[in-house]
Amino acid sequence: MTQRMVGKTVLITGGTNGIGLETARGLAKMGARVMIVGRNPEKTARVAAEIGAAGTLLADLSELAQVSRAAAEFREREDRLDVLVNNAGALYSRRQETNEGIEMTWALNHLAPFLLTRELLPLLRRAQTPRVVTVSSVAHRFARLNFDDPQFRRGYNGWRAYGQSKLANLLFALELARREPDILSHSVHPGFVRSGFGQDMTGLEARLFRLSNRFHLADRFTVTPEQGAQTSLRVASDPSLLVSGRYFVNERMAQPARQALDGDAARRLWQLSEEAVGP
């Protein structure tokens, strides 16, 4: 297992924090040429040096123009991509829009991985056994896709927006598997990870979060970033996983919610996403 990724080129978004960092570290230890996407130049360079990354890309992935630019830069540098790990994501308790006028959760958690993957498909197709790992969440079980208002211009709720984006991640992975049969496309739930996730929360959510941390209540129900990364690591590297379009929890294949298996919704979401990101 230690050297199973030798000769493989891997790109990881959100690779400077939490499970993204531990996923990058773990794949580098397996011998992969790991490249990480980060937003802060100094932090990204420091993390890359720490884990022995082969390179970095700088981008604010909530901005679609920057996603496209990062993909173009990667295509200029590399001739193929063996594994793409769509890891970056966030939860925002108050509604906010990007500079491009897109609701932040929808832009970062769904449209960014959709666009990045689409733009890197030519390089993925050149790999021998290409893989796309999309980090989702068990939160998808309580969500529905609001096709009429996916950006929650009315009645915004941070948890609802987050859950919808995580359901979109599963449907994206499912439709990618259908459209690209030579690419192994999977989604994963990393568990409830103790990290900086949720730091944008305000109001009652923030008070409950701080109270939980103060009394270490989260320690009973959460895992470390290193533990949380194990499912992504297995799906990204295990040569025995040769069936596409699956969902993984605790390093094992799991059954997602029924709405995450809706092929018609997956195709409709793909079309909606194409219209949102442009040609």
Known catalytic residues are: 162
Beta bridge partners of 34: 10
* Residues in a beta bridge with 84: 11, 132
- Report the alpha-carbon distance of residue 108 to residue 112 in Å, rounded: 5
List, as one string, the DSSP characters of 50-116. HHT-SEEEE--TTSHHHHHHHHHHHHHH-S--SEEEE------SS--B-TTS-BHHIIIIIIHHHHH
CA dist., res. 14 & res. 134, Å (int): 12
- Residue of 81, 78, 269, 268 whose CA lies nearest to 166: 269
Q: Where do we find the tokens 């924090």?
A: 17
Between CA 53 and CA 34 the distance in angstroms is 5
User: Contact, 83 vs 8, CB < 8 A?
Assistant: yes
Phi/psi for 85 (5° steps) reads -110, 110
Give the whole-angstrom CA distance, residue 250 versus residue 188: 9
Q: Could you tell me whether strands 246-249 and 252-254 are parallel, antiparallel, or unpaired per DSSP bridges?
A: antiparallel
- Helix residue ranges per DSSP H, the chain: 18-29, 41-51, 64-77, 104-105, 112-125, 158-179, 203-214, 225-228, 230-237, 263-277
200, burial (CB in 10 Å: exposed 0-12, middle 13-18, buried 19+): middle
